[in-house]
Structure 1
Amino acid sequence: MTRGKKTTKSKQTTGNNAQQGIVLQNIIIKAPTRKVYDVGDWRTALRSADSGRVKQLYDLFDDLMVDGVLSDAVQRRIDAVTNSELKFVNSAGEEVDDMTRIIDSMTWEALLVEIMRCKFYGRSGVELMFNADGALEAIPIPAKHINLKNKCILINDSDDTGIPYEEADNILILGKERDFGILLKTAPYAIYKRGGFGDWSQWVELFGQPQRIGKYNTFDPESRKLLEDAFEHAGGAPYVIIPKEAEVEMHDTSSSNGSSFNEFRQACNEEMLITVSGQTLTALSGERGARSLGEVHQDVEDAKNRSDLRFVQRVLNQHVIPILERRGLPVADGHFVFPKSAEPLTVNEIVQLSDIMEIPQSHLREKYSIPAPEEGEPIARRQHQSAPMQLDLDADDDDTDDDDDKKVVKNADAGIMSKLRDFFAGAPVEGASDGTSHMTLSDDTLNDRVIKRVATGESRKFDAELFKYISDDLLKGIYTVFNNRINNVDYDYST
């Protein structure tokens, strides 16, 4: 069954919109041939394509693109281009609004897809035209209708000659004569994988289910018929019906679980992914060290994507701009560009960058979709632990904050040195030579010393150390209350 696709011949307009009439008048698009392909068909199609007849090869490609892994790998590279930001800027580096509206359309996305198809099919074509409403249309030309050897577009995919496209100023044709794209290299693995799945399903049908053996009496043929009827209605598992006197040898197949079929399938998938994407771990899960290896494989995929972006950008600037210029669009002094996308930053990286550069809050609110707080609304923030307050009884009221910070550091150092000194016992002064002096250890407390002096009669009525301890503690309390009142109450000393 054939389907005709007819395009009307556009009239030549005046002014900036002057254009040549469309060359394509009628293309007969036929459905691809669907059959069970083998590697022999692939080689036959390749030899035919080498001689200039590409119909059989591209029918094979269209049939193999049913494979999920292959089609997904191809689509990932195309999506990397269509999802990237594209701009058209003039000589001053400013965006052109008319071109921005055209870029942000389904027609432009279809144009980018057709340009990328050249990578996989070896050739691609698109017809650019404006409809009655003035909107741009991109009509794809099937690869098997493009004859690069004779520089023409075939009306029937089996023809050798057709309509020349070199004189048409609204048709974009890409590709080289002996280049059949990436799909040519992936085709054998897709064919092997498809055949391997068929063998695997047959193995499961034969050995994946337990076999049933029915024995009947040789002198009772009716029992054989009853066994056959019973096995037919008892499910699809394989069965064997033999006489009781017969001997049957059953080979154990438990040692073979069909893992070789799965390994063959995985090998075919890996070869196709390596051919299309240059790596495997961004599409398939790894085993050991998957995260570190995945980062390396992601770099390989990113390099492929950057190469595709450069290819599409050059095609747009060298081939598409002249076509658009002849249609009167403001593209004479401009060019297409894919801006370099910035690497995503984590919150910790943004916090570190805020120490060396000024980051506007509006950018962060837009990036993380955080609304601005309303007046009086509670704000969620991390609570900072305040440093412990250091009390200095000898400090004056006019000390600055810098002095307080220095005292805190000084007190901290003094505390460490004090603990270090307390670790050692105090050296005796009197009686060190005759051994009559008592050594005071760092764990000797005030209570122990007072009790010792009372017990030995050294302190009868007045203990100076005990008095100093009590008076210091009392003065410390008085100074604390006095300082708090000075900080919180304003006094008028004029009276």
Structure 2
Amino acid sequence: MLSWLPTHLVQVENALRAGTPSGGSASEGIVPEVIAQRAVSLQEWQNAVNLARNPFVQNRRDLYRVYDNIMLDLQLTTLLDKRVEKLQADKFKIMGPDGTEQPELAALLQTMWFRNFIRHVIESIAYGHSLLELADQAPTPKTIKVNGRSLQYYPLLSVPLVSRPHVRPEKGQWVRNVFDQEGPSFRDPAVRNYYLEAGEPTDLGLLYKITPVALAKRYAMGSWSEFNDKLAIPFRWVTMKSPDAKREQKLAQILQNMGSAGWGIFHPNEEIKLLESAKSDPHKCFLELLVYCDKQMSKAISGETLTTDEGAGSKSQGVVHQEVAELKHEADRTFLEYIVNEQLLPRLVWIGYPLAGCKYVRDDSMEMSPQDQIKIDQVLLQFYNLDPQYIADKYDIKLDYIKGKTPEEVKEVLEKAVKKPQPVA
């Protein structure tokens, strides 16, 4: 019966069961935990950090609950998504063992699972150590042609992130329940090729430093809302000439139905005084604190503020801030390149991908507009005889229009192509 099964499935099943006492992979063995959303405090963050760093506990469950809570902040989410999405949009190439580009092999990574893989890798900068699993392969093979040869492989369907609270990176283990101290090893030689680690085992991530700022922003928003509820909307009150229980009940019902502003009913010789801020614009103290917190988060995630937050700045300042943002992006690209070449590709080869000896390379080629390309070709025509087929392919012009023409005539055709109206979509 084993001879009827795909070889790669037998290998995965045997390896995962041999390396895990409970049997199965992490994604199958973890018992999910129900987590209710609630507000967190700075004291809870401090306690969570102490638990994560305690050498006798090393449990990050509470810390990740804090992280997930502050990631509801729109500014923080946008900043992190910006770094992730910019990297997901970058082009890349796969170079073969002989150093030549292999577009057919690059197509193996032009998939949704690789896009999600990029997100998990970059988010490890924010969350700290992250563990990915590479055991979810298709049951049927696919065939691709590379250099005239037909090659088969079993494609990955997904590369899930192992639930962070269930991972003990310092020990190299994952646990079934979040409060377990020991569990199967994902670094065991029998299974290590089916797991990939991003980030250092002791790293708590950038969110460790951002949490106090994010919580301060949340407190400021709460205080501002409370200020608006109590003082921004005019207070209403009624003074009765004499005590009357029925009339008082009726007035209370009327005031309650008039809206959400504060109200009160007072008897003779009773009064209420509302203390207001001496400033004419007390909202600024809340707004300035919110803006300050947003800028601090921008500095931590992007390294600058001018390209992420509203504000005036000179052109020279904009250039400097843009250069800092590009420096962060370049660091992310290098980090991803190391992860792919040193960890992902060897594991893909192990599970049957035809990528032995290949290398993941960033594609920095520039895409020029037709107008810019034509200017370059006009200069080249002064010194070289350009192949008519090149002109036909580059500008989508019929070969019959170009073949046999002089360079001057080709130049005229190119100039007409620039002025050619674009088809309406």
- State how 1:48-67 maps to structure 2 within 5 Å: 48-51=51-54, 52-67=58-73
Distance 1:151 1:334 in 2: 28
Match of 2:286 among 256, 261, 278: 261
Q: CA deviation at 1:263?
A: 1.0
Amino acid across the alignment from 2:241? N
1:294/1:176 CA distance change after superposition, 3 Å: same
- Look up the match of 1:26: 29
- Look up the match of 1:171: 195
Match of 2:88 among 71, 82, 98: 82
Amino acid across the alignment from 1:132? P
Q: CA deviation at 1:380?
A: 8.7
Match of 1:132 among 133, 136, 139: 139
1:340/1:237 CA distance change after superposition, 3 Å: same
Amino acid across the alignment from 2:195? I
* Larger radius of gyration between Structure 1 and Structure 2: 1
Distance 2:244 2:223 in 1: 39
1:101/1:297 CA distance change after superposition, 3 Å: same
Distance 2:336 2:64 in 1: 23
Q: CA deviation at 1:29?
A: 2.3
Amino acid across the alignment from 1:59? R
Distance 2:78 2:419 in 1: 44
Distance 2:31 2:361 in 1: 36
Q: TM-score, structure 2 length as denominator?
A: 0.75
Distance 1:363 1:270 in 2: 48
Q: CA deviation at 1:97?
A: 4.8
**Unmatched runs of 5 consecutive residues or more in structure 2:** 20-24, 141-153, 397-401, 403-412, 421-425
Distance 1:89 1:164 in 2: 34
- The 8 Å contact of residues 32 and 62 in structure 1, kept in 2 or not, is answered as no
Distance 2:87 2:179 in 1: 33
- Look up the match of 2:204: 180
Amino acid across the alignment from 1:120? A
Distance 1:213 1:144 in 2: 53
- The 8 Å contact of residues 127 and 139 in structure 1, kept in 2 or not, is answered as yes
Q: CA deviation at 1:48?
A: 0.4
- The 8 Å contact of residues 166 and 174 in structure 2, kept in 1 or not, is answered as yes
1:203/1:90 CA distance change after superposition, 3 Å: same
- The 8 Å contact of residues 170 and 323 in structure 1, kept in 2 or not, is answered as yes
1:132/1:237 CA distance change after superposition, 3 Å: same
Higher relative contact order (CA 8 A, sep 6+): 2
- Look up the match of 1:424: none
1:44/1:251 CA distance change after superposition, 3 Å: closer
Distance 1:90 1:193 in 2: 50
1:94/1:236 CA distance change after superposition, 3 Å: same
- The 8 Å contact of residues 210 and 238 in structure 1, kept in 2 or not, is answered as yes
Say if 2:142 is the partner of 1:148: no
**Unmatched runs of 5 consecutive residues or more in structure 1:** 1-10, 367-371, 383-495
Distance 2:34 2:272 in 1: 52
Amino acid across the alignment from 1:125? L
Q: TM-score, structure 1 length as denominator?
A: 0.65
- The 8 Å contact of residues 306 and 313 in structure 2, kept in 1 or not, is answered as no
Say if 2:207 is the partner of 1:200: no
- Stretch deviating more after TM superposition (228-237 or 265-274): 228-237
Q: Secondary structure at the match of 1:139?
A: coil
Q: Secondary structure at the match of 2:30?
A: strand
- The 8 Å contact of residues 102 and 136 in structure 1, kept in 2 or not, is answered as no
Say if 2:321 is the partner of 1:321: no
- The 8 Å contact of residues 128 and 136 in structure 1, kept in 2 or not, is answered as yes
Q: CA deviation at 1:381?
A: 5.3
Aligned CA-pair RMSD: 3.2
Say if 2:178 is the partner of 1:157: yes
- Look up the match of 1:117: 123
Distance 1:198 1:362 in 2: 64
Q: CA deviation at 1:74?
A: 0.9
Match of 2:297 among 272, 280, 289: 272
1:149/1:221 CA distance change after superposition, 3 Å: closer
1:238/1:108 CA distance change after superposition, 3 Å: same
Distance 1:336 1:213 in 2: 72
Distance 1:244 1:364 in 2: 91
Amino acid across the alignment from 1:178? T
Q: Secondary structure at the match of 1:172?
A: strand
1:218/1:86 CA distance change after superposition, 3 Å: same
1:50/1:12 CA distance change after superposition, 3 Å: farther
- The 8 Å contact of residues 86 and 103 in structure 1, kept in 2 or not, is answered as no
1:123/1:32 CA distance change after superposition, 3 Å: farther
Match of 2:74 among 60, 68, 72: 68
Amino acid across the alignment from 1:21? A
Amino acid across the alignment from 1:235? G
- Look up the match of 1:235: 259
Say if 2:44 is the partner of 1:41: yes
- Look up the match of 2:99: 93
Distance 1:97 1:350 in 2: 23
- State how 1:354-393 maps to structure 2 within 5 Å: 356-357=379-380
Distance 1:113 1:164 in 2: 24
Amino acid across the alignment from 1:77? R
- Look up the match of 2:242: 218
Quote the sequence identity (%): 21
Distance 1:252 1:59 in 2: 38
Amino acid across the alignment from 1:296? V
Q: CA deviation at 1:222?
A: 5.7
- Look up the match of 2:331: 307
Say if 2:308 is the partner of 1:283: yes
- Look up the match of 2:150: none
Q: Secondary structure at the match of 2:69?
A: helix
1:306/1:343 CA distance change after superposition, 3 Å: farther
